[in-house]
Amino acid sequence: MAPVSLPTVFVSHGAPTLPLERGEPAREFLATLGGRYPGIRAVLCVSAHWNTPRPAVTLAEHPKTLHDFSGFPAELYRITYPATGSQELAARTADLVESAGISCDRDPGRGFDHGAWVPLMLMYPDARVPVVQLSIQGHLDPERHLALGEAIAPLKEEGVLILGSGGAVHPLGDPTVALGPGAPTGDWAVAFNDWLTRVLMSGDTESLAAYRSLAPAAVHAQPYPDHFMPLLVAHGAAGRGSAGTPLHQSWYWGNLGMGAWEFR
């Protein structure tokens, strides 16, 4: 049986502690999300936490679990996510990227960063779905990430779930923004999230790419926009002009917007 055409998905992964926080709305949402896509062959995860000069894919058959953070509870550093990699998917992804005229590296040693394993251990806790990561780029250029998404679009027809993992509102790096349990959600954060919702639901790719100049409070909502680039890749892979369906909206630690979207 031929694989069904899949949508592309963007999720906000929050803090590394999210898998431990039962009752947190975003955690409970992610724990149900995997069931929305039964029978997939593999996941290609584009995480905000793998940033390279040019695109790269993971080649490891058994990627290690990276604890790429500090200052969190000891139990977090004991978490492992033992999903296998897929050299076949890594090679196919790299070929597609290069066929679009974009250079692509192959990294045999890279493991799963928390941008990948936080959502995936909730979506697929049995770790039976193979996972390959595709990096974002250090220039953080919206148009180039849309183009990267367009390059990998054929994977949707091959049983591969293209999953962008970042943050819809992610003000880390802005010293004026309060973050933490019990922190209030600022009006500026709500305004940015409302703008993003309108743009995604209308499929307005041009405005999405120009979010830095068009969106209210973009300088606070995405001060270092690594967490926005996976959203652009997921949207680009669905096709320019593709309208997004909101799957989840909540706030975490006050000003972290945990929006999740599906694109077809």
Domain CATH code at residue 135: 3.40.830.10
> How many domains is the chain built from?
1
Domain that holds residue 241: 8-263
**In-domain check, residue 3:** no
- DSSP letters of the chain? -PPPPPPEEEEE---TTGGG-TT-HHHHHHHHHGGGSTT-SEEEEEEEEEEESS-EEE--SSPPBP----SS-GGGGG--------HHHHHHHHHHHHHTT---EEESS--B-HHHHHHHHHH-TT--S-EEEEEEETT--HHHHHHHHHHHGGGGGGTEEEEEEE-SB--TT-TTS--STTPPPPHHHHHHHHHHHHHHHHT-HHHHHTHHHHSTTHHHH-SSGGGTHHHHHHHHHH-TTPPEEEEE--EETTTEE--EEEE-
**In-domain check, residue 2:** no
The rounded percent of the chain whose pLDDT value lies above 90 is 94
pTM: 0.97
> For 46-100, how does the pLDDT look when each residue is reduced to its tens digit (9 = 90+)?
999 999 999 999 999 999 999 999 888 899 999 999 999 999 999 999 999 999 9
> For 93-123, how does the pLDDT look when each residue is reduced to its tens digit (9 = 90+)?
999 999 999 999 999 999 999 999 999 999 9
**In-domain check, residue 153:** yes
**In-domain check, residue 197:** yes
**In-domain check, residue 1:** no
